[in-house]
């Protein structure tokens, strides 16, 4: 699938709204979206009916690689992210191939990142909801959080804050994920995969 060079990109950080979830592993998509907003130099605003916070801006150096982007953080809960994402896709007329979901990934070790187009949801409720609402043919930036230790339930693990050890690297990894999103949007998936897949 090719992306449309003239259409805007919709970059969605997945997470749960509310201060009690802010530093959870499940909210790393929000963390990356917040950093991208900082780089663009704007603030998120509530988007009407879409149940999301949105920031419109541009990514990339002036010239042919400069892209119009809509950054979004769904304000529904994670497991119903599909509604807000589909609403934004329709409102901004974004092709599915120009949508990027940034999310935590249990099947990848902490400190590791992978970018891909399409595929399954690996039990991730946010992806499951988005795929059900439209299709699976969107980009994913998968931020590894690893598996829960011992017998801890997955739901408990993803809704816990990053550990003190993990937090030492977290800013660097969030920064790297934001770089990967920018590379994906301006230079394409293959270039971003070769530079950032680890």
Contact 89, 31 (CB under 8 A): no
How would DSSP label each residue in 27-54?
GHHHHHHHHHHHHHT---EEEGGGTEEE
Cα–chain-centroid distance for residue 63? 25
Task: Name every residue whose Cβ is closer than 8 Å to that of residue 18 and which is 6 or more positions away in sequence.
Answer: none
Contact 41, 55 (CB under 8 A): no
Q: How far apart are CA 182 and CA 172, in angstroms?
A: 15
Give the CA dihedral 165, 170, 176, 180, nearest 10 degrees: 110
Q: Would you call 26 a catalytic residue per the annotation?
A: yes
- The tally of CA atoms less than 13 A away on the side-chain side of residue 16 is 17
Catalytic residue chosen out of the listed positions 26, 103, 124, 139:
26
5-23 burial: b if 16+ Cβ within 10 Å, else e: eeebbbbbbbbbbeeebee
Catalytically active residues are: 26
């Amino acid at each position: 699938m090719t992306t449309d060079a003239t259409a805007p990109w919709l970059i969605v950080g997945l997470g749960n709204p509310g201060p009690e979830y802010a530093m959870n592993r499940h909210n790393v998509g929000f963390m990356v979206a917040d950093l991208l907003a900082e780089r663009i130099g704007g603030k998120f605003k509530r988007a009407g009916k879409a149940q999301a916070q949105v920031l419109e801006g541009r990514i990339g150096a002036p010239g042919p690689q400069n892209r119009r982007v809509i950054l979004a953080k769904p304000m529904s809960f994670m497991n119903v992210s599909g509604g807000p994402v589909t609403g934004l896709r329709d409102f901004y007329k974004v092709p599915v191939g120009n949508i990027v979901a940034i999310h935590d990934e249990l099947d990848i070790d902490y400190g590791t990142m992978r970018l891909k187009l399409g595929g399954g949801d690996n039990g991730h409720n946010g992806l499951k909801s988005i795929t059900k609402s439209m299709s699976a043919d969107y980009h994913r930036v998968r931020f590894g959080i690893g598996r829960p230790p011992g017998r801890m339930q997955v739901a408990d693990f993803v809704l816990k804050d990053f550990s003190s050890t993990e937090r030492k690297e977290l800013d660097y990894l969030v920064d790297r994920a934001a770089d990967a999103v920018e590379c994906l949007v301006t230079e394409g998936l293959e270039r971003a995969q070769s530079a950032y897949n680890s």
